[in-house]
Amino acid sequence: MTCLAERPAHVPRSRACDALGLSRTGTYPRRRQSRAQAATAGRKQPRQLSEAETEQVLETVNSTAYADETVRVIHARELNQGRPMPSVSTIYRILRRREQTQERRNQRPPQRHVKPRIVVRGPNEGWSWDISKLPTVRKGVYLNLYEVLDLFSRYPVAWMISRKENAALAQHLFREALERYAIRPGELTVHQDRGAPMIAQSYREFLDSHGVRRSYSRPRVSNDNPFSEAHFKTIKYSPAYPGRFQGIDHAREWMGAFMEGYKHRPHEGLAYYTPAEVFEGRVEAVRAQRQAALDAYFAEHPHRHPKGRPIARTPPQEVAINPEDGVAQSAEAFLTASAEELSTPRTKGKINQENEHSLSDRG
């Protein structure tokens, strides 16, 4: 501003402002505004609350009856009782001056959930399952795809399509899967999110009675169940996926063909072995066959392999959910923490009421 004021007389103010990067209108003295402020400096706003009225507002808001209520609720209840108060914004201004605008309601403190970390080194040591919605040609009507994946091999050990989503159907699915693969108590961990069927008391008691350890994702963290989420994407991004199903029979027929083909499709995460080869323990036989083919090719074209004899890859020896520096948390430590979380009282919106429906719609 000093440079602008000391500019030569022949330099227009607009050109000087352009050179200095200033707005011309903002360089004029604010004489009118200053005069207006000086005129109203000692004058009180006629609509302003008196000190007594301000104290009465504070006394009402801070009373025991309204200690856990919001300002809008207090304003409405006082008006219902024939005691009108100043506007909500005025009450907030009063509270802001007294530094009382923090959360007034009594709320549950933020919950800390254990980050699930699981490691498996063989088939049937860990399963991951979830439920996905399948749209039908009828608007607003969806089917439910229950699917259980083996973490080590990505093999779909069990699946079912139903019109309903509840814990009774989940128990039926797991009962058949546990019997089919002869799972013994203490050798299997099941990972899932916190949907209503997964945290239902009857479902948890069912797994506990069969000696199956339970693992849960953190609330609103989809990355804690990556295997099931990725598999659902594989299903719905399949070129043959119909988008909408004609009905439950159409969905079961299409899903049956897809699951059978998926079991025998090379998987990138398994070094392009198929889930069936890993799950059924045929990796060594397939690897030997691959190595023999590589050796024959290397003997015929050694110059194409400057780094030496190629070695057939093998699938990962460990598969983990949320690995930490290559070391997974022990299942016992995590499951103990998860059991403590689920045993604590839940808020009103989180209470899950289990629906015991019939199994007539099971897949």
Q: Tell me: the pLDDT tens digits for 160-170?
A: 999 999 999 99
Q: Is the domain defined by 118-281+319-350 classed in CATH 3.40.1190.20?
A: no
User: Whole-prediction pTM value?
Assistant: 0.64
- Classify 159 as helix, strand or coil: strand
The pLDDT tens digits of the residues spanning 118-148 come to 999 999 999 999 999 999 999 999 999 999 9
Residue 20 scores a pLDDT above 50 = yes
Contact at 8 Å (CB) between 136 and 246?
A: yes
Provide the pLDDT confidence category of residue 327 given band limits of 50, 70 and 90: very low
Distance CA 125, CA 120 (A): 6
**What would you report as the CA-atom Rg of the chain, rounded to the nearest whole angstrom?**
34
Token readout for 198 is 């997964």
Of 248, 223, 242, the closest CA to residue 142 belongs to: 248
The pLDDT tens digits of the residues spanning 229-274 come to 999 999 999 999 999 999 999 999 999 999 999 999 999 999 999 9
């899932």: which residue's tokens?
A: 192
Provide the pLDDT confidence category of residue 149 given band limits of 50, 70 and 90: very high
CATH 3.30.420.10 intervals, the chain: 118-281+319-350
Cβ neighbours of 345 (radius 10 Å): 7
Distance CA 93, CA 91 (A): 5
Q: Give, for 320, the enclosing helix (H) or strand (E).
A: strand 319-321
- Classify 170 as helix, strand or coil: helix
Cβ neighbours of 124 (radius 10 Å): 21
pLDDT at residue 128 in the model: 96
Mean pLDDT of the chain: 85
